[in-house]
């Protein structure tokens, strides 16, 4: 599959199954290269090729890498811009794709200084550094523009977000936008591990930092809107990559 900076890319593996995806999401995913290869291998799932990949042997971890990364593996390496949603009843896969394609033509790429491994309340993730205002504005624009694409949350979906643990503002965001961590509650991150104990996180963070340091992009730039689909087994697949050209 060849990726272009000027025309959108459709993953041909899903031409016959796109409408069978039960949810869609708009994510950041790295373009093909060393960063994409290393992060796919770290989680053990290549969401562009829709296949498992061997995980590296990283000495010094408190447990096998496969057990430390089981939760994010079903998604593959990504950064959430619009959390997974069921499409509105009147919309099909191509309607969703057309809307994201149109949005990509209105938005310009956005950058920050780089990425670093951080402990986010128990799970490790890559988080951006530098001035994040452009990134936060960019993400808020995507949330607002894609909100008409989603069906309202049903009771099960709402319960999955554990509303009893949310602040009043997060609860209001959940009910209006379908996800509690948007707008001023948004914190862009690229998940690397399950939720770990303090001891596990303390041992794992330096190992992952050292492993990823040679290939972390500087600056870190979001160049595309990536439309993902969730299959019946709960695995996420890269369906379309729409370069930002606004």
Instruction: Output DSSP code: residue 154.
Output: -
pLDDT value, residue 246:
86
Q: The whole model's pTM is what?
A: 0.90
Give the percent of the chain with pLDDT over 70: 92
Cα-based angle 160, 166, 169 (whole degrees, multiple of 5): 125
Distance CA 97, CA 154 (A): 23
Residue 16 has pLDDT above 90, yes or no: no
CA 184 to chain centre: 18
Residue 211 has pLDDT above 70, yes or no: yes
DSSP of 94-123: HHHHHHHHHHHTT---EEESEEEEEEETTE
Please, which residues bridge with residue 192 across strands? Answer: none
Integer CA distances (angstroms), 131 to 33, 112, 113, in order: 26, 6, 8
Q: What average pLDDT does this structure show over 189-209?
A: 97
Largest CA distance in the chain: 51
pLDDT in tens, 123-170: 999 999 999 999 999 999 999 999 999 999 999 999 989 999 999 999
pLDDT in tens, 79-126: 999 999 999 998 988 999 999 999 999 999 999 999 999 999 899 999
Interhelix angle 133-146/93-104, nearest 10 degrees: 150
Distance CA 226, CA 78 (A): 9
Rg (CA), the chain: 17
Distance CA 95, CA 99 (A): 6
| φ, ψ at 15 (rounded to 5°) | -55, -35
Instruction: Output DSSP code: residue 181.
Output: S
- The structural domains of the chain, ordered by start, are 9-149+186-243 (3.90.1140.10)
Average pLDDT in the chain: 92
Q: What average pLDDT does this structure show over 177-192?
A: 96
pLDDT in tens, 44-75: 999 998 899 999 999 999 999 999 999 999 99
**pLDDT band at residue 8, thresholds of 50, 70 and 90?**
low
pLDDT value, residue 10:
55
Distance CA 12, CA 240 (A): 9
Residue 9 has pLDDT above 60, yes or no: no
**pLDDT band at residue 20, thresholds of 50, 70 and 90?**
confident
């Amino acid at each position: 599959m060849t990726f272009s900076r000027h025309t959108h890319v459709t993953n041909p593996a899903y031409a016959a199954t796109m409408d069978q995806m039960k949810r869609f999401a708009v994510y950041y995913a790295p373009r093909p290269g060393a960063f994409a290869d290393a992060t796919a291998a770290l989680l053990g799932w290549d969401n562009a090729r829709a296949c498992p990949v061997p995980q590296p042997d990283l000495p010094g971890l408190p447990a096998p890498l496969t057990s430390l990364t089981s939760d994010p593996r079903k998604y593959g390496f990504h950064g959430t811009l619009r959390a997974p949603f069921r499409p509105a009843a009147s919309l099909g896969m191509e309607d969703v794709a057309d809307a994201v394609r149109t949005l990509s033509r209105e938005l310009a790429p956005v950058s920050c200084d780089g990425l670093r491994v951080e402990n986010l309340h128990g799970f490790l993730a890559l988080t951006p550094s530098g001035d994040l205002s452009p990134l936060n504005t960019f993400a808020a624009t995507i949330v607002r523009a894609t909100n008409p694409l989603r069906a309202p949350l049903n009771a099960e979906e709402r319960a999955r977000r554990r509303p009893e643990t949310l602040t009043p503002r997060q609860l209001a965001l959940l009910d209006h936008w379908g996800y509690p961590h948007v707008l001023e509650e948004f914190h862009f991150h690229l998940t690397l591990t399950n939720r770990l104990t303090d001891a596990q996180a303390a041992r794992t963070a330096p190992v992952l930092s050292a492993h990823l340091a040679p290939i972390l992009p500087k600056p870190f730039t979001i160049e595309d809107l990536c439309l993902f689909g969730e299959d019946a087994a709960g695995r996420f697949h890269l369906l379309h990559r729409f370069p930002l050209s606004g």
